Amino acid sequence: MLTDARKLIQQASHIAVLTGAGISAESGIPTFRGPGGLWRNFRPEDLATPEAFARDPILVWEWYQWRRGIIAHAEPHAGHFALVALESRKGRTGFTLITQNVDGLHDRAGSSAPLKLHGDIWTLRCTCCAHSWVDLRPDFNPFPPACPECQSLARPGVVWFGESLPQDTWRLAEQAVTFAELILVIGTSSVVFPAAGLIPLARHVGTKVIEVNPEETPISDSVDFHFRAPAGELLPLLLE
Ligand code: BV8
Ligand code: ZN
């Protein structure tokens, strides 16, 4: 199975990769729907919404500050670096990394231009003017953070449930999966849309799919290879 998959990877001239929270699990960052994903007994779907932020911006900011603190102490692992090695082998035109993650670990591992479908936890946006900026502080002072331009309340630069994805990023991701001969789907439960819709879209145009996930997911029985293993262990074997 590993040999066949490695051959597919070697032969493909265009590869798209879709990652989810699972690729950061071995870096110590809780996934959304796995153990440790809860915070003060809130589900991410309860907090990652414009309604929750409008109702209680302090609570939502406390959740993001808690996550930023964990991510700030997390390091990319061998799986992140194996994707960087694949990218350098395939070159910029032969490789596209698409991620649902907002933690920035792909950037820190050296991935050159990940398509961030759901934004970036280190970017803040103003709730009033159009200003957006990067703020790497794990603890905000004053809390909650304010816009440096107009002093209005800032919000995390991420896409919440019910919000649409950045159009240009989404279009690039759709193009990448329809143009690729092979898509690697790593560490996602494939239940959040429209990101999860990229996989049936790829299959519809005959793209081969390799899934890396210790659990079964809704796409597992329709992929070409499903490696039921952690990304940090499997990706170096598959990609290097
Ligand atoms: C949209 C950023 C409409 C924030 C995230 C009702 C009301 C409103 C909307 C909807 C609704 N019903 C459905 C929807 C659509 C909704 C949706 O899909 N909901 C789901 C819950 C059913 N989608 C949206 O709302 C999207 N927007 O539809 O807008 C619209 C359209 C047009 C115009 C205007 C509006 C926006 C979705 C984006 C939400 N934001 N994150 C933040 O992070 O704070 S989503 C969030 O889930 C993260 O980005 C996360 O990445 C993503 C997906 O989860 P996964 O990454 O898959 O993580 P998960 O924990 O689920 O799974 C981890 C997997 O890893 C597991 O399978 C596990 O087995 C595996 N794993 C564990 N360890 C390892 C591993 N794998 C490998 N190695 C390991 N070691
Ligand atoms: Zn502002």
- Is residue 28 a contact partner of residue 193, using CB atoms and an 8 Å limit? no
DSSP-derived 3-state class of residue 231:
helix
Instruction: Give the full edge-to-edge strand order of the sheet including 95-99.
Output: 115-116, 95-99, 15-19, 182-186, 208-212, 225-227
Specify which residues 19 forms β-bridges with. Answer: 99, 186
* Active-site residue, selected from the candidate residues 73, 118, 204, 226: 118
Instruction: Output the pLDDT for position 211.
Output: 98
184 in contact with ligand 1, CB cutoff 6 A? no
Distance CA 130, CA 144 (A): 18
**pLDDT for 30-42, tens place per residue?**
999 887 777 888 8
For the CA of 44, the nearest atom of ligand 1: 44
* Atom 65 in ligand 1: residue holding the nearest Cα: 22
Distances (CA, A) of 145 to 21, 57, 72, 122, 148: 26, 11, 17, 12, 9
Question: Is the entire prediction scored with pTM above 0.85?
Answer: yes
**pLDDT for 151-179, tens place per residue?**
999 999 999 999 999 999 999 999 999 99
Distance CA 236, CA 112 (A): 19
- Identify which of 103, 107, 79 has the alpha carbon closest to the alpha carbon of residue 31: 103
- Identify which of 180, 177, 198 has the alpha carbon closest to the alpha carbon of residue 188: 198
Confidence grade of residue 128 (pLDDT, cut at 50, 70, 90): very high
Residues 6+ apart with CB under 8 A from 133: 123, 124, 148
Judge whether 226 counts as a catalytic residue. no
31 in contact with ligand 1, CB cutoff 6 A? yes
Provide the mean pLDDT of the chain: 96
- The structure tokens listed for 154 are 């800032």
26 in contact with ligand 1, CB cutoff 6 A? yes
Res. 59: pLDDT tops 80: yes
